[in-house]
């Protein structure tokens, strides 16, 4: 990377690591939530649906502030980690993860929920008559058929986490190599009026993200219409 400093490079790697982990975690927890939302008939699922989207409404640094309180020594989360003997979450990569996962949750849940609803029950029924357990059917039928929605969910979650700034700053404390992700680094460059460095890093960030997302898209199977035909 001829025109990137070590610090810049480090922040870039950190960003992609964070975005990758957040996306992976979101796939694990967002998918069941979306599934539940798509299939439950509880009247209050609308509330859950809207609640999932709520963190978005707060300015990120304010959300970060509230999270910092919650994760701090007096906060409920902070007490929990203390009791469990886990290292405190603020100013650590783990803290960034938790906060980013919370913040990006709606980007994962909502597209998936729609896709699951649109898919309907028939493909699962067909799979069941072909001896596939529900879990089996999920991986071998639902997943491939709703792949475009997963793609969207992954794209949005990933991109959004890469660009996240306010929450990450508040929780992470901008520690080089630990929580100083590329978005913080670019911001610092801009604030310090180092526009050339900012531009270079921003360009690299865009490029990398572009490549990562393109890679995801390139694995997209042929277009399909419905679950079954």
Partner 1 sequence: MSDIVARFRLDRSGFQLDVDLVLPGRGVTAFFGTSGSGKTTLLRCIAGLERAPEGLLSVLGEVWQDQSTWLAPYRRPLGYVFQEASLFAHLSVMGNLQYGVKRTKSGQLTHFEHIVDLLGIAHLLQRQPQGLSGGERQRVAIARALLINPKILLMDEPLAALDVQRKQDIFPYLERLRDELAIPVLYVSHDHHEVARLADHLVVMEAGQVISNRPMSVAMAQPDQRFQRDEDIGAIIDGQVGAIDMPWHLARMDFPGGGLWMRDHDLPVGKKVRLLILARDVSLARHPPEQSSIQNSLQGHITAILDDTHPGLALVQVRVGTSLLLARLTKRAATALGLQMGESIWVQVKSVALI
Partner 2 sequence: ETMTIAAAADLKFAMDDLIHNFKSTHPNDEIKVVYGSSGNFTTQITQGAPYDVFFSADIGFPRKLAQMKMTASPVIPYAMGRIVLWSATRNASKMSLSSLTDPSITRIAIANPKHAPYGQRAEEALRSAGLWDKVEPKLVYGENIAQTAQFVQTGNAQVGIIALSLAVNPQLASQGGYWLIPDSLHSPMEQAYVITSHGAENPLAHQFVAYMNSTPARAIMTQYGFVLPSVATTK
What does 126 bind: partner 1, partner 2, a copy of itself, none (CB cut-off 5 to 8 Å by kind)? partner 1
| One of 5, 21, 114, 174 touching a copy of itself (CB under 8 A) | 114
| Cα end-to-end distance, the chain, whole Å | 49
Nearest to 100 by CA among 39, 31, 179: 179
**Closer of 47 and 86 to a copy of itself (Cβ):** 47
To a copy of itself, the closest distance from the beta carbon of 86 in angstroms equals 27
| Contact code string over 183-212 relative to partner 2, x by CB under 8 A | ----xx-xxxx-------------------
* 82 near a copy of itself, judged by CB under 8 A: no
What is d(CA 71, CA 104) in angstroms, rounded to the nearest whole number? 18
CB under 8 A: which stretch of 11-19, 21-29, 84-92, 199-207 binds partner 2?
A: 84-92
Tokens of 123: 């493909």
Burial of 202 (0-12, 13-18, 19+ CB in 10 A): middle
Dihedral sign of CA atoms 46, 60, 217, 212 in order: negative
| One of 62, 143, 175, 192 touching a copy of itself (CB under 8 A) | 62
Tokens of 210: 């572009």
Which residue shows structure tokens 């277009």? 223
**Closer of 33 and 201 to partner 2 (Cβ):** 201
Determine contact, residues 8/192, Cβ cutoff 8 Å: no
Determine contact, residues 85/95, Cβ cutoff 8 Å: no
* 128 near partner 1, judged by CB under 8 A: yes
The one-character DSSP state at 11 is: H
| Contact code string over 142-181 relative to a copy of itself, x by CB under 8 A | ------xx--x--xx--xx-xxxxx---------------
Residues near partner 2 (CB under 8 A):
61, 65, 68-69, 71-75, 88, 90-91, 169-170, 173-176, 180, 187-188, 190-193
């Amino acid at each position: 990377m001829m025109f990137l400093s070590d610090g810049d490079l480090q922040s870039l790697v950190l960003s992609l690591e964070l975005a990758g982990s957040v996306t992976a975690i979101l796939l694990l927890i967002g998918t069941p939530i979306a599934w539940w939302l798509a299939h439950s008939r509880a009247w209050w699922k609308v509330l859950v649906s809207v609640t999932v989207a709520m963190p978005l409404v707060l300015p990120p640094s304010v959300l970060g502030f509230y999270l910092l309180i919650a994760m701090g020594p007096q906060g409920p989360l902070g007490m929990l980690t203390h009791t469990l003997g886990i290292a405190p979450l603020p100013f650590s990569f783990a803290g960034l993860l938790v906060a980013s996962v919370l913040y990006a949750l709606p980007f994962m849940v909502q597209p998936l929920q729609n896709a699951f609803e649109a898919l309907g029950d028939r493909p699962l029924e067909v799979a069941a008559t072909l001896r596939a357990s529900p879990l089996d059917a999920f991986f071998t039928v639902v997943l491939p058929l709703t792949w475009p929605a997963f793609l969207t969910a992954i794209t949005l979650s990933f991109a959004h986490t890469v660009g996240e700034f306010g929450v990450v700053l508040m929780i992470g404390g901008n520690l080089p190599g630990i929580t100083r992700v590329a978005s913080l680094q670019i911001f610092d460059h801009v604030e310090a009026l180092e526009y050339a460095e900012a531009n270079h890093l921003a360009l690299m960030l865009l490029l990398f993200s572009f490549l990562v997302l393109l890679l995801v898209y390139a694995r997209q199977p042929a277009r399909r219409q419905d679950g079954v035909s």
